[in-house]
Chain A
Amino acid sequence: MKLPIFLDNHSTTPMDPRVLETMLPYFVEKFGNAASRNHAFGWAAEEAVENARKQIAKLIKADPKEIVFTSGATESDNLAIKGVVEMYKEKGDHIITSSTEHRAVLDTVKVLEGKGKATATYLPVDKFGMVSPEDVRKAITEKTILISIMLANNEIGTINPVKEIGKIAKEKGILFHCDATQGVGKIPVDVQDMGIDLMSFSAHKMYGPKGVGALYVRKKNPRVRITAQMDGGGHERGMRSGTLPVPLIVGFGKACELCEQEMAKDTTRLVAMRDRLEASIMKNLEESYLNGHPANRLPGNLNISFAYVEGESLLMGMKDIALSSGSACTSATLEPSYVLRALGVGTDLAHSSIRFGLGRFNTDDEIDYTITKVIEIVTKLREMSPLYEMAKEGVDLKSVQWAAH
Protein backbone atom coordinates (compact mmCIF):
# COMPACT_ATOMS: atom_id res chain seq x y z
CA MET A 1 0.00 0.00 0.00
CA LYS A 2 1.29 3.43 -0.99
CA LEU A 3 0.82 6.62 1.04
CA PRO A 4 -0.81 9.09 0.77
CA ILE A 5 -4.16 7.45 0.07
CA PHE A 6 -6.59 9.23 -2.22
CA LEU A 7 -10.09 9.18 -0.71
CA ASP A 8 -11.36 12.37 -2.31
CA ASN A 9 -12.87 10.92 -5.47
CA HIS A 10 -15.73 13.46 -5.52
CA SER A 11 -13.26 16.26 -6.15
CA THR A 12 -11.60 14.45 -9.01
CA THR A 13 -10.53 10.93 -9.91
CA PRO A 14 -7.20 9.54 -11.03
CA MET A 15 -7.21 8.86 -14.74
CA ASP A 16 -7.55 5.24 -15.71
CA PRO A 17 -4.32 4.15 -17.44
CA ARG A 18 -6.43 2.62 -20.21
CA VAL A 19 -7.84 6.09 -20.86
CA LEU A 20 -4.40 7.63 -21.15
CA GLU A 21 -3.38 4.97 -23.61
CA THR A 22 -6.17 5.86 -26.02
CA MET A 23 -5.33 9.57 -25.74
CA LEU A 24 -1.61 9.41 -26.48
CA PRO A 25 -1.71 9.13 -30.31
CA TYR A 26 -3.81 12.30 -30.51
CA PHE A 27 -1.16 14.66 -29.16
CA VAL A 28 1.73 14.33 -31.59
CA GLU A 29 0.84 11.84 -34.26
CA LYS A 30 -2.84 12.54 -34.95
CA PHE A 31 -2.86 16.20 -34.05
CA GLY A 32 -5.39 17.39 -36.62
CA ASN A 33 -8.18 19.88 -36.09
CA ALA A 34 -11.50 18.06 -36.10
CA ALA A 35 -13.00 21.02 -37.97
CA SER A 36 -10.56 20.69 -40.90
CA ARG A 37 -12.78 19.15 -43.54
CA ASN A 38 -10.31 19.01 -46.41
CA HIS A 39 -7.43 16.76 -45.41
CA ALA A 40 -6.58 13.48 -43.74
CA PHE A 41 -5.33 15.10 -40.53
CA GLY A 42 -8.72 16.68 -39.97
CA TRP A 43 -10.57 13.53 -40.94
CA ALA A 44 -8.65 11.41 -38.45
CA ALA A 45 -9.41 13.89 -35.67
CA GLU A 46 -13.05 14.12 -36.63
CA GLU A 47 -13.39 10.36 -36.72
CA ALA A 48 -11.90 10.10 -33.23
CA VAL A 49 -14.22 12.80 -31.90
CA GLU A 50 -17.29 11.17 -33.42
CA ASN A 51 -16.32 7.81 -31.98
CA ALA A 52 -16.00 9.37 -28.54
CA ARG A 53 -19.32 11.11 -28.98
CA LYS A 54 -20.90 7.71 -29.57
CA GLN A 55 -19.26 6.19 -26.49
CA ILE A 56 -20.44 9.09 -24.34
CA ALA A 57 -23.98 9.10 -25.74
CA LYS A 58 -24.27 5.36 -25.21
CA LEU A 59 -23.53 5.69 -21.49
CA ILE A 60 -26.43 8.09 -20.97
CA LYS A 61 -28.76 6.59 -23.62
CA ALA A 62 -28.64 9.66 -25.83
CA ASP A 63 -28.06 10.26 -29.51
CA PRO A 64 -24.44 11.21 -30.34
CA LYS A 65 -25.71 14.41 -31.98
CA GLU A 66 -27.07 15.50 -28.61
CA ILE A 67 -23.61 15.75 -27.04
CA VAL A 68 -22.02 19.21 -26.94
CA PHE A 69 -18.43 19.27 -25.78
CA THR A 70 -17.38 21.86 -23.22
CA SER A 71 -14.43 22.45 -20.91
CA GLY A 72 -16.17 20.75 -17.99
CA ALA A 73 -19.32 20.65 -15.91
CA THR A 74 -19.05 24.25 -14.71
CA GLU A 75 -19.15 25.46 -18.30
CA SER A 76 -21.95 23.02 -19.11
CA ASP A 77 -24.03 24.36 -16.21
CA ASN A 78 -23.40 27.94 -17.31
CA LEU A 79 -24.19 27.17 -20.93
CA ALA A 80 -27.38 25.30 -20.09
CA ILE A 81 -28.81 27.84 -17.66
CA LYS A 82 -27.70 31.07 -19.33
CA GLY A 83 -28.40 29.60 -22.74
CA VAL A 84 -31.99 28.69 -21.86
CA VAL A 85 -32.68 31.96 -20.05
CA GLU A 86 -31.55 33.94 -23.08
CA MET A 87 -33.23 31.74 -25.66
CA TYR A 88 -36.59 31.52 -23.92
CA LYS A 89 -36.83 35.01 -22.44
CA GLU A 90 -40.05 35.71 -24.34
CA LYS A 91 -41.64 32.74 -22.59
CA GLY A 92 -40.66 33.62 -19.03
CA ASP A 93 -37.78 34.11 -16.66
CA HIS A 94 -38.41 31.84 -13.69
CA ILE A 95 -35.95 29.10 -12.68
CA ILE A 96 -36.58 26.39 -10.09
CA THR A 97 -33.50 24.96 -8.47
CA SER A 98 -32.51 23.65 -5.04
CA SER A 99 -30.46 24.93 -2.14
CA THR A 100 -27.92 22.11 -2.30
CA GLU A 101 -26.92 22.47 -5.95
CA HIS A 102 -23.28 22.85 -6.85
CA ARG A 103 -21.96 26.40 -6.88
CA ALA A 104 -21.72 26.26 -10.67
CA VAL A 105 -25.52 26.16 -10.78
CA LEU A 106 -26.30 28.36 -7.76
CA ASP A 107 -23.89 31.12 -8.69
CA THR A 108 -25.01 31.10 -12.31
CA VAL A 109 -28.63 31.50 -11.24
CA LYS A 110 -27.67 34.21 -8.74
CA VAL A 111 -25.79 36.16 -11.39
CA LEU A 112 -28.82 36.01 -13.70
CA GLU A 113 -31.02 37.19 -10.82
CA GLY A 114 -28.61 40.00 -10.05
CA LYS A 115 -28.72 41.19 -13.63
CA GLY A 116 -32.51 41.12 -13.62
CA LYS A 117 -32.54 38.40 -16.30
CA ALA A 118 -34.16 35.74 -14.16
CA THR A 119 -36.12 35.10 -10.98
CA ALA A 120 -35.51 31.94 -9.00
CA THR A 121 -36.99 29.60 -6.43
CA TYR A 122 -34.49 27.67 -4.31
CA LEU A 123 -36.24 24.56 -3.08
CA PRO A 124 -35.36 23.22 0.35
CA VAL A 125 -34.29 19.60 0.79
CA ASP A 126 -35.37 17.06 3.39
CA LYS A 127 -33.08 15.91 6.20
CA PHE A 128 -31.43 13.43 3.83
CA GLY A 129 -30.74 16.10 1.26
CA MET A 130 -33.46 15.10 -1.18
CA VAL A 131 -35.61 17.42 -3.28
CA SER A 132 -39.32 16.64 -3.20
CA PRO A 133 -40.93 16.34 -6.66
CA GLU A 134 -44.12 17.77 -5.16
CA ASP A 135 -42.20 20.88 -4.10
CA VAL A 136 -41.03 21.22 -7.69
CA ARG A 137 -44.60 21.00 -8.92
CA LYS A 138 -45.82 23.58 -6.42
CA ALA A 139 -43.07 26.02 -7.32
CA ILE A 140 -44.00 26.11 -11.01
CA THR A 141 -45.49 29.38 -12.24
CA GLU A 142 -46.56 30.62 -15.67
CA LYS A 143 -43.16 32.22 -15.96
CA THR A 144 -41.15 29.05 -15.23
CA ILE A 145 -38.84 28.18 -18.10
CA LEU A 146 -36.31 25.92 -16.42
CA ILE A 147 -35.98 23.38 -13.63
CA SER A 148 -32.38 22.69 -12.63
CA ILE A 149 -31.94 19.89 -10.11
CA MET A 150 -28.81 17.82 -9.61
CA LEU A 151 -28.68 14.05 -9.95
CA ALA A 152 -26.43 13.32 -6.98
CA ASN A 153 -24.95 15.69 -4.44
CA ASN A 154 -21.19 16.17 -4.39
CA GLU A 155 -20.92 16.38 -0.60
CA ILE A 156 -23.42 13.90 0.76
CA GLY A 157 -23.96 11.72 -2.30
CA THR A 158 -27.75 11.80 -1.99
CA ILE A 159 -29.47 10.84 -5.24
CA ASN A 160 -32.50 12.93 -6.18
CA PRO A 161 -35.77 11.51 -7.56
CA VAL A 162 -34.83 12.83 -10.98
CA LYS A 163 -37.24 10.64 -12.92
CA GLU A 164 -40.24 12.00 -11.00
CA ILE A 165 -39.02 15.56 -11.48
CA GLY A 166 -38.49 14.91 -15.19
CA LYS A 167 -42.05 13.66 -15.46
CA ILE A 168 -43.46 16.81 -13.87
CA ALA A 169 -41.31 18.98 -16.13
CA LYS A 170 -42.58 17.15 -19.21
CA GLU A 171 -46.16 17.34 -18.05
CA LYS A 172 -45.87 21.11 -17.61
CA GLY A 173 -43.79 21.67 -20.73
CA ILE A 174 -40.84 23.09 -18.82
CA LEU A 175 -37.22 22.31 -19.66
CA PHE A 176 -35.34 20.16 -17.18
CA HIS A 177 -31.61 20.61 -16.68
CA CYS A 178 -29.77 18.12 -14.51
CA ASP A 179 -26.25 18.60 -13.17
CA ALA A 180 -25.21 14.96 -13.23
CA THR A 181 -21.49 15.50 -12.69
CA GLN A 182 -21.26 13.14 -9.72
CA GLY A 183 -23.65 10.57 -11.07
CA VAL A 184 -22.71 9.84 -14.67
CA GLY A 185 -20.46 6.80 -14.83
CA LYS A 186 -21.28 5.84 -11.24
CA ILE A 187 -24.98 5.07 -11.41
CA PRO A 188 -27.19 4.23 -14.41
CA VAL A 189 -28.32 7.34 -16.24
CA ASP A 190 -30.92 7.28 -18.98
CA VAL A 191 -31.91 10.70 -20.28
CA GLN A 192 -35.01 9.25 -21.97
CA ASP A 193 -36.31 7.42 -18.94
CA MET A 194 -35.43 10.30 -16.62
CA GLY A 195 -37.01 12.95 -18.82
CA ILE A 196 -33.88 15.10 -18.87
CA ASP A 197 -33.60 17.86 -21.50
CA LEU A 198 -30.17 19.21 -20.65
CA MET A 199 -27.49 17.45 -18.63
CA SER A 200 -24.03 18.53 -17.47
CA PHE A 201 -21.20 16.13 -16.76
CA SER A 202 -17.46 15.98 -16.77
CA ALA A 203 -14.71 13.51 -17.69
CA HIS A 204 -12.41 13.93 -14.71
CA LYS A 205 -15.03 12.71 -12.24
CA MET A 206 -15.11 9.36 -13.98
CA TYR A 207 -11.45 8.49 -14.45
CA GLY A 208 -11.07 10.61 -17.57
CA PRO A 209 -8.94 13.70 -18.18
CA LYS A 210 -9.49 17.17 -16.69
CA GLY A 211 -10.51 19.97 -19.02
CA VAL A 212 -13.33 18.34 -20.91
CA GLY A 213 -17.00 17.88 -20.19
CA ALA A 214 -20.27 17.72 -22.03
CA LEU A 215 -23.71 19.19 -22.13
CA TYR A 216 -26.41 16.86 -23.31
CA VAL A 217 -28.94 18.91 -25.30
CA ARG A 218 -32.14 17.10 -26.26
CA LYS A 219 -32.83 17.08 -30.00
CA LYS A 220 -36.43 15.97 -30.12
CA ASN A 221 -39.52 15.91 -27.88
CA PRO A 222 -38.79 18.74 -27.41
CA ARG A 223 -35.99 20.13 -29.52
CA VAL A 224 -34.08 22.22 -26.99
CA ARG A 225 -32.41 25.41 -28.15
CA ILE A 226 -29.84 27.38 -26.22
CA THR A 227 -28.08 30.64 -26.93
CA ALA A 228 -24.33 30.16 -27.29
CA GLN A 229 -22.27 31.86 -24.60
CA MET A 230 -19.13 32.09 -26.70
CA ASP A 231 -18.93 33.40 -30.23
CA GLY A 232 -16.62 31.98 -32.83
CA GLY A 233 -16.42 29.24 -35.42
CA GLY A 234 -19.82 27.80 -34.67
CA HIS A 235 -18.59 24.41 -33.56
CA GLU A 236 -20.86 21.92 -31.80
CA ARG A 237 -23.94 22.82 -33.85
CA GLY A 238 -23.40 26.48 -33.05
CA MET A 239 -23.82 25.97 -29.34
CA ARG A 240 -20.19 26.04 -28.28
CA SER A 241 -17.48 27.53 -30.45
CA GLY A 242 -13.86 26.63 -30.02
CA THR A 243 -11.51 24.03 -31.47
CA LEU A 244 -12.24 20.66 -29.94
CA PRO A 245 -9.55 19.24 -27.62
CA VAL A 246 -9.32 15.95 -29.49
CA PRO A 247 -7.08 14.00 -27.05
CA LEU A 248 -9.27 14.99 -24.11
CA ILE A 249 -12.43 14.04 -25.96
CA VAL A 250 -10.94 10.67 -26.96
CA GLY A 251 -10.11 10.08 -23.29
CA PHE A 252 -13.58 11.17 -22.22
CA GLY A 253 -15.09 8.65 -24.63
CA LYS A 254 -12.92 5.83 -23.39
CA ALA A 255 -13.69 6.75 -19.76
CA CYS A 256 -17.41 6.50 -20.53
CA GLU A 257 -16.97 3.16 -22.26
CA LEU A 258 -15.08 1.78 -19.26
CA CYS A 259 -17.65 3.11 -16.81
CA GLU A 260 -20.41 1.46 -18.79
CA GLN A 261 -18.58 -1.88 -18.91
CA GLU A 262 -17.44 -1.84 -15.29
CA MET A 263 -20.21 -0.03 -13.46
CA ALA A 264 -21.72 -3.16 -11.93
CA LYS A 265 -18.34 -4.47 -10.79
CA ASP A 266 -17.19 -1.06 -9.50
CA THR A 267 -20.44 -0.52 -7.62
CA THR A 268 -20.30 -3.88 -5.85
CA ARG A 269 -16.71 -3.26 -4.74
CA LEU A 270 -17.28 0.35 -3.70
CA VAL A 271 -20.44 -0.35 -1.74
CA ALA A 272 -18.75 -3.20 0.13
CA MET A 273 -15.73 -1.03 1.05
CA ARG A 274 -17.86 2.02 1.86
CA ASP A 275 -20.24 0.03 4.06
CA ARG A 276 -17.36 -1.59 5.90
CA LEU A 277 -15.79 1.81 6.53
CA GLU A 278 -19.09 3.18 7.77
CA ALA A 279 -19.87 0.22 10.02
CA SER A 280 -16.40 0.21 11.61
CA ILE A 281 -16.53 3.93 12.32
CA MET A 282 -20.03 3.81 13.76
CA LYS A 283 -19.19 0.81 15.93
CA ASN A 284 -16.04 2.34 17.39
CA LEU A 285 -16.85 6.03 17.64
CA GLU A 286 -19.92 7.12 19.53
CA GLU A 287 -21.72 10.27 18.43
CA SER A 288 -20.73 9.92 14.81
CA TYR A 289 -23.55 10.95 12.53
CA LEU A 290 -24.13 10.02 8.91
CA ASN A 291 -24.94 12.98 6.66
CA GLY A 292 -27.06 12.29 3.60
CA HIS A 293 -29.37 9.49 2.64
CA PRO A 294 -28.76 6.14 4.37
CA ALA A 295 -29.52 4.11 1.24
CA ASN A 296 -30.13 6.35 -1.73
CA ARG A 297 -26.65 7.70 -2.27
CA LEU A 298 -23.63 7.32 -4.52
CA PRO A 299 -21.76 4.02 -4.07
CA GLY A 300 -18.47 5.70 -3.12
CA ASN A 301 -19.83 8.37 -0.80
CA LEU A 302 -19.64 8.51 2.99
CA ASN A 303 -20.11 11.77 4.86
CA ILE A 304 -19.89 11.66 8.65
CA SER A 305 -19.89 14.30 11.40
CA PHE A 306 -17.79 13.49 14.43
CA ALA A 307 -19.26 15.45 17.33
CA TYR A 308 -16.86 17.56 19.46
CA VAL A 309 -13.99 17.62 16.95
CA GLU A 310 -13.36 20.13 14.21
CA GLY A 311 -13.02 18.97 10.62
CA GLU A 312 -9.82 20.67 9.61
CA SER A 313 -7.99 19.28 12.61
CA LEU A 314 -9.25 15.83 11.65
CA LEU A 315 -7.83 16.26 8.16
CA MET A 316 -4.57 17.50 9.62
CA GLY A 317 -4.38 14.45 11.85
CA MET A 318 -4.84 12.18 8.85
CA LYS A 319 -2.46 13.92 6.53
CA ASP A 320 -1.56 10.75 4.67
CA ILE A 321 -5.20 10.32 3.63
CA ALA A 322 -6.66 12.82 1.17
CA LEU A 323 -10.15 13.75 2.37
CA SER A 324 -12.44 16.73 2.42
CA SER A 325 -14.41 18.47 5.18
CA GLY A 326 -17.46 20.70 5.42
CA SER A 327 -15.66 22.74 8.06
CA ALA A 328 -15.46 26.48 7.49
CA CYS A 329 -11.71 26.33 8.01
CA THR A 330 -11.36 24.28 4.84
CA SER A 331 -13.61 26.42 2.67
CA ALA A 332 -12.75 29.53 0.72
CA THR A 333 -15.76 31.36 2.13
CA LEU A 334 -15.00 30.62 5.80
CA GLU A 335 -18.58 29.38 6.17
CA PRO A 336 -19.34 25.76 7.02
CA SER A 337 -20.90 23.63 4.28
CA TYR A 338 -24.14 25.15 2.96
CA VAL A 339 -25.20 21.67 1.86
CA LEU A 340 -25.07 20.29 5.41
CA ARG A 341 -26.76 23.44 6.71
CA ALA A 342 -29.59 22.93 4.19
CA LEU A 343 -30.16 19.44 5.63
CA GLY A 344 -30.65 20.98 9.04
CA VAL A 345 -27.29 19.79 10.35
CA GLY A 346 -26.23 22.18 13.15
CA THR A 347 -23.34 24.52 12.45
CA ASP A 348 -21.29 22.73 15.09
CA LEU A 349 -21.74 19.36 13.38
CA ALA A 350 -21.18 20.90 9.95
CA HIS A 351 -17.74 22.00 11.20
CA SER A 352 -17.13 18.41 12.29
CA SER A 353 -17.87 16.66 9.01
CA ILE A 354 -15.60 14.56 6.86
CA ARG A 355 -16.36 13.39 3.33
CA PHE A 356 -14.90 10.06 2.30
CA GLY A 357 -14.96 9.63 -1.47
CA LEU A 358 -14.10 6.14 -2.62
CA GLY A 359 -13.19 5.34 -6.18
CA ARG A 360 -12.23 2.63 -8.63
CA PHE A 361 -8.62 2.45 -7.52
CA ASN A 362 -9.06 2.25 -3.76
CA THR A 363 -8.20 -1.05 -2.11
CA ASP A 364 -9.29 -2.97 0.97
CA ASP A 365 -5.91 -2.29 2.57
CA GLU A 366 -6.43 1.42 2.18
CA ILE A 367 -9.83 1.19 3.83
CA ASP A 368 -8.35 -0.79 6.74
CA TYR A 369 -5.67 1.84 7.19
CA THR A 370 -8.29 4.61 7.05
CA ILE A 371 -10.48 2.93 9.67
CA THR A 372 -7.54 2.66 12.09
CA LYS A 373 -6.49 6.26 11.49
CA VAL A 374 -9.97 7.75 11.83
CA ILE A 375 -10.59 6.00 15.14
CA GLU A 376 -7.16 7.03 16.40
CA ILE A 377 -7.41 10.71 15.48
CA VAL A 378 -11.04 11.23 16.53
CA THR A 379 -10.25 9.66 19.91
CA LYS A 380 -7.15 11.81 20.30
CA LEU A 381 -8.90 15.04 19.33
CA ARG A 382 -11.85 14.31 21.58
CA GLU A 383 -9.43 13.94 24.49
CA MET A 384 -8.24 17.39 23.53
CA SER A 385 -11.72 18.88 23.12
CA PRO A 386 -13.25 21.00 25.89
CA LEU A 387 -16.66 20.27 24.36
CA TYR A 388 -16.22 16.52 24.74
CA GLU A 389 -15.09 17.05 28.33
CA MET A 390 -18.16 19.16 29.09
CA ALA A 391 -20.49 16.67 27.42
CA LYS A 392 -18.94 13.85 29.47
CA GLU A 393 -19.53 15.93 32.61
CA GLY A 394 -23.17 16.12 31.64
CA VAL A 395 -23.18 19.75 30.53
CA ASP A 396 -25.80 20.49 27.90
CA LEU A 397 -23.73 22.31 25.30
CA LYS A 398 -26.82 23.91 23.84
CA SER A 399 -27.56 25.64 27.16
CA VAL A 400 -24.11 27.24 27.41
CA GLN A 401 -23.86 30.95 26.64
CA TRP A 402 -21.03 31.01 24.14
CA ALA A 403 -19.20 34.18 23.27
CA ALA A 404 -19.58 34.08 19.49
CA HIS A 405 -16.72 35.71 17.66
Chain B
Amino acid sequence: MAYSDKVVDHFTNPRNMGSFKKDEEGVGTGMVGAPECGDVMKLQIKVQNDTIVDAKFKTFGCGSAIASSSLATEWLKGKTVEEAQKIKNTDIVQELNLPPVKIHCSVLAEDAIKAALADYQKKADGAQTDAK
Protein backbone atom coordinates (compact mmCIF):
# COMPACT_ATOMS: atom_id res chain seq x y z
CA MET B 1 0.00 0.00 0.00
CA ALA B 2 1.38 3.36 -0.95
CA TYR B 3 1.09 6.21 1.52
CA SER B 4 -0.05 9.68 0.56
CA ASP B 5 2.63 12.38 0.52
CA LYS B 6 0.97 14.07 3.48
CA VAL B 7 1.05 10.92 5.60
CA VAL B 8 4.73 10.45 4.75
CA ASP B 9 5.43 14.09 5.59
CA HIS B 10 3.74 13.93 9.01
CA PHE B 11 5.38 10.59 9.74
CA THR B 12 8.85 11.79 8.77
CA ASN B 13 8.50 15.23 10.36
CA PRO B 14 5.96 14.83 13.13
CA ARG B 15 4.54 18.13 14.38
CA ASN B 16 4.31 18.80 18.09
CA MET B 17 5.60 15.45 19.23
CA GLY B 18 6.10 15.31 22.98
CA SER B 19 4.32 15.68 26.31
CA PHE B 20 3.11 18.27 28.80
CA LYS B 21 3.01 17.51 32.47
CA LYS B 22 -0.46 16.10 33.07
CA ASP B 23 -1.07 18.17 36.19
CA GLU B 24 0.05 21.43 34.60
CA GLU B 25 -2.63 24.10 34.69
CA GLY B 26 -4.82 24.24 31.63
CA VAL B 27 -3.59 20.92 30.26
CA GLY B 28 -6.08 18.31 29.11
CA THR B 29 -4.88 14.79 28.29
CA GLY B 30 -6.64 12.22 26.16
CA MET B 31 -5.35 8.68 25.84
CA VAL B 32 -7.21 6.31 23.55
CA GLY B 33 -6.67 2.93 21.94
CA ALA B 34 -5.02 -0.23 23.26
CA PRO B 35 -1.64 -1.90 22.70
CA GLU B 36 -3.44 -5.16 21.77
CA CYS B 37 -5.14 -3.36 18.90
CA GLY B 38 -1.86 -1.96 17.65
CA ASP B 39 -2.51 1.70 18.31
CA VAL B 40 -2.50 4.02 21.31
CA MET B 41 -2.71 7.79 20.99
CA LYS B 42 -1.96 10.34 23.66
CA LEU B 43 -3.08 13.83 22.77
CA GLN B 44 -2.63 16.85 25.02
CA ILE B 45 -3.88 20.41 24.80
CA LYS B 46 -2.88 23.49 26.74
CA VAL B 47 -5.70 25.98 27.14
CA GLN B 48 -5.51 29.65 28.09
CA ASN B 49 -8.58 31.87 28.12
CA ASP B 50 -10.61 29.23 26.35
CA THR B 51 -8.11 29.02 23.49
CA ILE B 52 -5.83 26.08 22.77
CA VAL B 53 -2.40 27.68 22.79
CA ASP B 54 -0.41 24.49 22.40
CA ALA B 55 -0.91 20.80 21.67
CA LYS B 56 1.29 17.72 21.80
CA PHE B 57 1.00 14.05 20.92
CA LYS B 58 2.65 10.71 21.31
CA THR B 59 1.42 7.75 19.30
CA PHE B 60 2.09 4.02 19.18
CA GLY B 61 0.69 2.90 15.87
CA CYS B 62 1.08 2.72 12.14
CA GLY B 63 2.20 5.62 9.97
CA SER B 64 -1.37 6.76 9.37
CA ALA B 65 -2.09 6.81 13.11
CA ILE B 66 1.02 8.90 13.73
CA ALA B 67 0.12 11.25 10.88
CA SER B 68 -3.49 11.59 12.08
CA SER B 69 -2.43 12.62 15.56
CA SER B 70 0.31 14.91 14.28
CA LEU B 71 -2.23 16.65 12.04
CA ALA B 72 -4.71 16.88 14.91
CA THR B 73 -2.22 18.82 17.05
CA GLU B 74 -1.62 21.21 14.15
CA TRP B 75 -5.32 21.85 13.76
CA LEU B 76 -5.98 22.20 17.48
CA LYS B 77 -3.52 25.02 18.00
CA GLY B 78 -5.24 28.41 17.98
CA LYS B 79 -8.76 26.99 18.09
CA THR B 80 -11.18 27.71 20.91
CA VAL B 81 -12.38 24.77 22.95
CA GLU B 82 -15.72 24.99 21.20
CA GLU B 83 -14.17 25.05 17.73
CA ALA B 84 -11.98 22.06 18.60
CA GLN B 85 -15.09 20.01 19.37
CA LYS B 86 -16.07 20.34 15.74
CA ILE B 87 -13.03 18.56 14.27
CA LYS B 88 -14.33 15.44 12.57
CA ASN B 89 -12.48 12.27 11.63
CA THR B 90 -13.72 12.72 8.06
CA ASP B 91 -11.76 15.99 7.87
CA ILE B 92 -8.61 14.06 8.77
CA VAL B 93 -9.38 11.33 6.23
CA GLN B 94 -9.77 13.95 3.54
CA GLU B 95 -6.69 15.96 4.44
CA LEU B 96 -4.40 12.92 4.67
CA ASN B 97 -6.08 11.02 1.86
CA LEU B 98 -6.43 7.92 4.05
CA PRO B 99 -7.53 4.66 2.39
CA PRO B 100 -10.58 2.82 3.83
CA VAL B 101 -8.45 0.42 5.94
CA LYS B 102 -6.91 3.39 7.72
CA ILE B 103 -10.11 5.24 8.58
CA HIS B 104 -9.95 3.85 12.13
CA CYS B 105 -6.77 5.91 12.63
CA SER B 106 -8.74 9.10 12.02
CA VAL B 107 -11.53 7.90 14.31
CA LEU B 108 -8.95 7.31 17.00
CA ALA B 109 -7.58 10.84 16.51
CA GLU B 110 -11.07 12.33 16.85
CA ASP B 111 -11.59 10.25 20.00
CA ALA B 112 -8.27 11.51 21.35
CA ILE B 113 -9.29 15.13 20.71
CA LYS B 114 -12.62 14.57 22.45
CA ALA B 115 -10.91 12.84 25.38
CA ALA B 116 -8.37 15.65 25.79
CA LEU B 117 -11.12 18.28 25.69
CA ALA B 118 -13.22 16.34 28.20
CA ASP B 119 -10.21 15.99 30.50
CA TYR B 120 -9.52 19.71 30.26
CA GLN B 121 -13.20 20.49 30.94
CA LYS B 122 -13.27 18.18 33.93
CA LYS B 123 -10.19 19.81 35.39
CA ALA B 124 -11.54 23.31 34.71
CA ASP B 125 -14.89 22.46 36.32
CA GLY B 126 -13.06 20.97 39.28
CA ALA B 127 -10.98 24.13 39.69
CA GLN B 128 -14.16 26.23 39.64
CA THR B 129 -15.81 24.07 42.28
CA ASP B 130 -12.71 24.39 44.44
CA ALA B 131 -12.80 28.17 44.07
CA LYS B 132 -16.36 28.28 45.38
Contacts and interface: CB of A to CB of B under 8 A. Distances in A.
Contacts, number: 86
Interface string A334-354: 101000000000111001000
B31 A404 contact: no
Contacts of A317: 11
B127 interface: no
A402 B36 contact: yes
A386 B58 contact: yes
A346 to B, nearest CB: 8
Nearest to A309: B60
Contacts of A270: none
Nearest to B7: A316
A405 to B, nearest CB: 6
A26 interface: no
A310 B62 contact: yes
B104 interface: yes
Interface string A386-399: 11110000000100
B66 interface: yes
Interface residues of B, number: 31
Contact of A404 (B37, B42, B61, B65): B37
A387 B40 contact: yes
B61 A313 contact: yes
Nearest to B61: A310
Contact of B66 (A336, A351, A384): A384
Q: Which of A310, A397, A403 neighbours the largest number of chain B CB atoms within 10 Å of its CB? A: A310
Contacts of A403: 32-34
A405 B33 CA distance: 6
A246 interface: no
B3 A316 contact: yes
A351 B3 CA distance: 19
B71 to A, nearest CB: 14
Contact of B63 (A313, A328, A336): A313
Contacts of A310: 38-39, 60-62, 65
B74 to A, nearest CB: 16
A284 interface: no
B35 A397 contact: yes
A275 interface: no
Nearest 5 A/B pairs, CB to CB: A402-B34, A348-B35, A386-B42, A312-B62, A386-B58
30 contacts: A310-B39, A312-B63, A313-B11, A313-B63, A316-B11, A316-B62, A316-B63, A329-B62, A347-B37, A347-B38, A348-B35, A351-B36, A384-B17, A384-B58, A384-B66, A385-B60, A386-B41, A386-B59, A386-B60, A402-B33, A402-B36, A403-B32, A403-B33, A404-B37, A405-B32, A405-B33, A405-B37, A405-B104, A405-B107, A405-B111
